[in-house]
Amino acid sequence: MNILKLIIFTLLFLPITVFAQNGPKFDIPGGETINTGNHIRNVEVKYEIKFNNSGDDTLKITSVSTTCGCSSALVSSNALLPGEEGSINFIFNGIGMGTVTKSVVVSTNEAVGNSHQINMVMNMVDPVSLKPASIITEGKVGDEIKQTASMFNSLSKIISITEITSNSPVVKVSSDKTEIGIGETASFDISIKIYEDSPVNAAVIIKTSEGDFQIPILVDIKSNDN
């Protein structure tokens, strides 16, 4: 009799065990907070968010939206079979400084947890940092003024220095590097020769793979009597 009860009990619950399904499941490898690294300020950021259907039924994307008008998102496919991969093309206009977080909201046909907020964390930086930002000094006719400056690479890639010049013949400049590695600094030796009794208004021009940068130079002339 006990054996019969056991068989009946097993048969009653067997269909649930065999035919139970998890349904569709929206899944982003690594989680729904994505740190995209450093990006140049005021330059459009584009990022491909990859996801997959790790469930056992068709995943349907019912809507994709962003939480601010400064960003947009477009999904590659609205329906994914089990095991299939898809992507969301995320675009941000790049306006901001420092750590900026923008969110993409994805709604699906999942029975539970059908709304997903994907947080896109971006570090908006100037491609380089110049120190000093400008050179203001003074000297007498005949003086040769020596100054130093530096350029720091805040990007996640190497910056090439293609040319270093000045817009004035009285200013000479040289650099210790032609490439600035990630997180590295290039140094510039600047020489300003005062030939006449008039202020020097010039600039050092640094041309790089990320654009051109300038260090303004202003030298007031002191009287030789001082």
Domain at 153, CATH number: 2.60.40.10
Q: 133 and 116 in one domain?
A: no
Say whether both 36 and 118 belong to one domain.
yes
Give one DSSP letter per residue of 115-136, joined into a string: EEEEEEEEEEE-SEEEESS-EE
Instruction: Please tell me whether residue 168 adopts helix, strand or coil conformation.
Output: coil
Q: Structurally, how many domains does the chain consist of?
A: 2
Whether 86 contacts 67, CB under 8 Å: no
Pick the last residue of a domain from 72, 90, 125.
125
Please indicate, yes or no, whether residues 138 and 115 belong to a single structural domain of this protein: no
* Structural domain span for residue 120: 22-125
Residue 25: phi and psi, rounded to 5, are -145, 120
Q: Which amino acid does the sequence have at 200?
A: V
Asked whether residue 14 is assigned to any structural domain, the reply reads no
Decide which of 71, 93, 125 is a domain's last residue: 125
How many alpha carbons fall within 13 Å on the CB side of residue 38? Answer: 13
Given 125, 151, 170, which residue is the final one in a domain?
A: 125
Please state the length of the chain: 226
One domain for residues 92 and 132:
no
Give a yes or no: residue 17 inside a domain. no
pTM, 2 dp:
0.64
Element of type H or E holding 180? strand 179-180
> Is 137 found in the same domain as 114?
no
Tell me the three state secondary structure of residue 217.
strand
In sequence order, the 6+-apart residues with CB closer than 8 A to the CB of 4 are none
The verdict on residue 97 lying in a domain is yes
Residue-level pLDDT at 17: 44
So what's the pLDDT on residue 225? 67
DSSP H or E run through 139: strand 135-139
Q: Quick check: is 7 in a domain?
A: no
pLDDT at 104: 96
- Residue 22: its pLDDT value, please? 83
Q: Which pLDDT does position 19 carry in this prediction?
A: 44
Is residue 53 within 8 A of residue 98, CB to CB? The reply is no
Q: Is there a domain that residue 201 lies in?
A: yes
The answer to the question of residue 102 being in a domain is yes
Q: Say yes or no: 137 and 82 in one domain.
A: no
The sign of the dihedral angle between the CA atoms of 106, 112, 113, 115 is positive
112 and 161 part of one domain: no
Residue 187, in any domain of the structure: yes
Q: Which residue stretches of the chain have pLDDT < 70?
A: 1-21, 225-226
Q: Would residue 84 count as lying in a domain?
A: yes
139 shares a domain with 74? no
Claim to verify: residue 142 and residue 119 sit in the same structural domain:
no
Reference 93, options 50, 49, 46; nearest CA is 46
190 and 158 fall within a common domain:
yes
